[in-house]
Amino acid sequence: MLSFLPPPVIGVLNAVLLGINTLFWCVLLYIPAILKLIVPIKGFRVLCTRMIIALAEAWVAGNVGWMKLTHGTRWSVDGAEKLERQSWYLVLSNHQSWVDILAMQRVFNRRAPFLKFFLKQQLIWVPVIGLAWWGLDFPFMKRYSREYLIKHPEKRGEDLRATRRACERFRYTPVSVMNFVEGTRFTQAKHDKQKSPYQHLLVPKAGGVAFVLDAMGDSIETLVDVTIAYPGGAPTFWDFLCGRVPDIRMDIETQRIPDHLKGRDYASDAEHRRNVKDWLAGLWHAKDERLTRMLADR
């Protein structure tokens, strides 16, 4: 343990270790990613995807290594034993900090299928990791504004069709499709602006979840409901690198996704929109109560 070092020194050391770890595994990952790009054979591409996932899991394990080496953080995790590697999951979580992603990767790594996020199409051009995301089959989405759709009505539904195309690749290897349904990180200012009915959460947005359930309803049967709490306050990424996060708590609940929420068109079906929103609201009320308990138990 190197937690005795001054926090800024730990932060710089961890930033260097994170960078080296990312560069090393990304370079190895490029080999199957490029082969997957140039060889248009489904079975071969599935094999390449599995190799890429194994390398990505090794990258996460490397990150966990420097966390254990330099951090004195107390981790309290309930429910991780319910996770299975050979499953297809929809994962929903509250969102307070960029640290949420590293925390979830640490807990989920090699216990559940690799976490995959929906990304903006422009992010495929991010140096080093853009190709890695593509090789991992992260879905790249191009969303259209309402104003654009008014001028180009032929583009209506293209985002859903793109979701279906992206999700098709998920059918061949187990996956955890991750969604921060609040759409942004929690702050008190955002909470007050929304007039959120929850004490610790922002109002969940149903559209992204409904898209996944429409595109993959026949594959994904299980919801993994993740609640993350920081009793010392939500940290910045720099706080985390410096080891200034004394306590991280995570509660993991699994439940079957109701069948009536799958395979229906969220955009045109008003009853379906109401059902998805009501389902998420129920989950969020329970999560809010759970967060209250997790933050009160110091």
pLDDT at 145: 61
**Residue 62: inside a domain, yes or no?**
no
pLDDT exceeds cutoff 90 at 254: yes
pLDDT at 298: 57
**Residue 15: inside a domain, yes or no?**
no
pLDDT at 236: 95
**Residue 103: inside a domain, yes or no?**
yes
**Residue 241: inside a domain, yes or no?**
yes
pLDDT at 262: 86
**Residue 90: inside a domain, yes or no?**
yes
pLDDT exceeds cutoff 90 at 141: no
Confidence of residue 146 (pLDDT cuts 50, 70, 90): low
Residue with more model confidence, 14 or 45? 14
pLDDT at 268: 79
Residue with more model confidence, 288 or 155? 288
pLDDT at 150: 66
Residue with more model confidence, 247 or 183? 247
Q: What is the DSSP string of the chain?
A: --TTS-HHHHHHHHHHHHHHHHHHHHHHHHHHHHHHHH---HHHHHHHHHHHHHHHHHHHHHHHHHHHHH---EEEEESGGG--SS--EEEEE--S-THHHHHHHHHHBTTBSPEEE-EEGGGGGSTTHHHHHHHTTPPEE----HHHHHH-GGGTTHHHHHHHHHHHGGGSS--EEEE-TTSS---HHHHHHHT-SSSS-PPPP-HHHHHHHHHHTTT--EEEEEEEE-TT-PPPHHHHHTT---EEEEEEEEEEPPGGGSS--TTT-HHHHHHHHHHHHHHHHHHHHHHHHHHH--
**Residue 38: inside a domain, yes or no?**
no
**C-beta atoms surrounding 5 within 10 Å:** 15
pLDDT exceeds cutoff 70 at 163: no
Distance between the two ends of the chain, CA-based, in angstroms?
24
Instruction: Say if CB 94 and CB 227 are below 8 A apart.
Output: yes
% of the chain at pLDDT higher than 70: 91
CATH number for the domain harbouring residue 95 = 3.40.1130
Domain count along the chain:
1
> 233: phi > 0 → left, psi -120 to 50 → alpha, else beta; which?
left
pLDDT at 207: 83
Confidence of residue 290 (pLDDT cuts 50, 70, 90): very high
Q: At 276, which amino acid appears?
A: V
**C-beta atoms surrounding 160 within 10 Å:** 17
**Residue 168: inside a domain, yes or no?**
yes
**Residue 163: inside a domain, yes or no?**
yes
Min mean pLDDT across 68-82, 135-149, 173-187, 247-261 is at 135-149
Mean pLDDT computed over 166-191: 86
pLDDT at 183: 86
pLDDT exceeds cutoff 70 at 148: no
282 burial level (CB within 10 Å; 0-12, 13-18, 19+): exposed
pLDDT at 191: 94
pTM of this structure: 0.89
* Domain extent for 211: 73-296
Confidence of residue 168 (pLDDT cuts 50, 70, 90): confident
pLDDT at 211: 81
pLDDT exceeds cutoff 90 at 58: yes
